[in-house]
Chain A
């Protein structure tokens, strides 16, 4: 029986879709490759809006700075090192330090209406499409 919403199936589909777009942008974001923190994924919606996502675990929302201007998005901040008050360190895999990353955005996006949030360590920047750039139907007058 097919379920209306199968989370595993949608996860597999999402992972497949992501694999297909790995490092092969449909839109040129002017990014320097996946070696700069934070790594980003860019999604589009049917209405033409864009969503930029980045994994920023351990960084408080107030420690992330998102600057947006026409054609440009910059994500910057700093992740602090977690240190024990006392005792020793067995393993330290989680990096720390400052970061800054800029990507180019398609110009038809309405950067003034962009919103950003950090939830469960994931930064989400939503950028709607410019009103003028949205396709619209033209009424044909029967003159």
Chain B
């Protein structure tokens, strides 16, 4: 066990709902990593089922969205509540200096964490130039 204690973060509701979505949307917490080949985003989306996830890259804007499965709440009455249940939505503007190929975006769901990987276009990857000794 590490000494660090896991702290609670309150869910942040998404403000821009564009007027078409119903129900509440919350902003998932994310970790974002980058290396020379790819950008990787891990987002906490507990309760989202694999068939209700969408990941879209359009004009440098990445949108991740996940919907919770409500079937699991049928016939239940809350008697005590600390968190609200809702869908997840978050958008990221990717740096335009990097070009990510929309065809090379992959995503997987692992224990309530959405893992998105965006591969950088070949041309934008740093490459090592071999120095030949003549």
Residue with the greatest number of chain B CB neighbours at <10 A, chosen from A57, A61, A79: A57
| A7, B112: Cβ atoms closer than 8 Å | no
Main secondary structure on chain A at its contact with chain B? mixed
Contact of A27 among B10, B48, B80 (CB under 8 A): B80
- Indicate whether A120 sits within 8 Å of B40 (C-beta atoms), given known contacts A57-B113, A98-B4: no
Query: What does the 1/0 interface line of A73-111 toward B look like (CB < 8 Å)?
Result: 000001100101111111111111111000000000000
| A120, B112: Cβ atoms closer than 8 Å | yes
Distance between Cα atoms of A50 and B79 in the complex (Å): 9
| B112, A18: Cβ atoms closer than 8 Å | no
| A43, B77: Cβ atoms closer than 8 Å | yes
Is B64's beta carbon under 8 Å from chain A? no
- Indicate whether A44 sits within 8 Å of B76 (C-beta atoms), given known contacts A82-B31, A97-B4, A120-B49: yes
Number of interface residues of B (CB under 8 A): 52
B residues 27-45 near A (Cβ < 8 Å) are 29-36, 40, 42, 44-45
Q: Which residues of A contact B (CB under 8 A)?
A: 7-8, 10-12, 14-15, 17-27, 29, 31, 34-46, 50-51, 55-61, 78-79, 82, 84-99, 118, 120-122, 124
Q: Which 10 A-B pairs have the closest CB atoms?
A: A121-B112, A87-B35, A57-B112, A97-B4, A121-B46, A43-B76, A34-B82, A55-B46, A97-B6, A84-B33
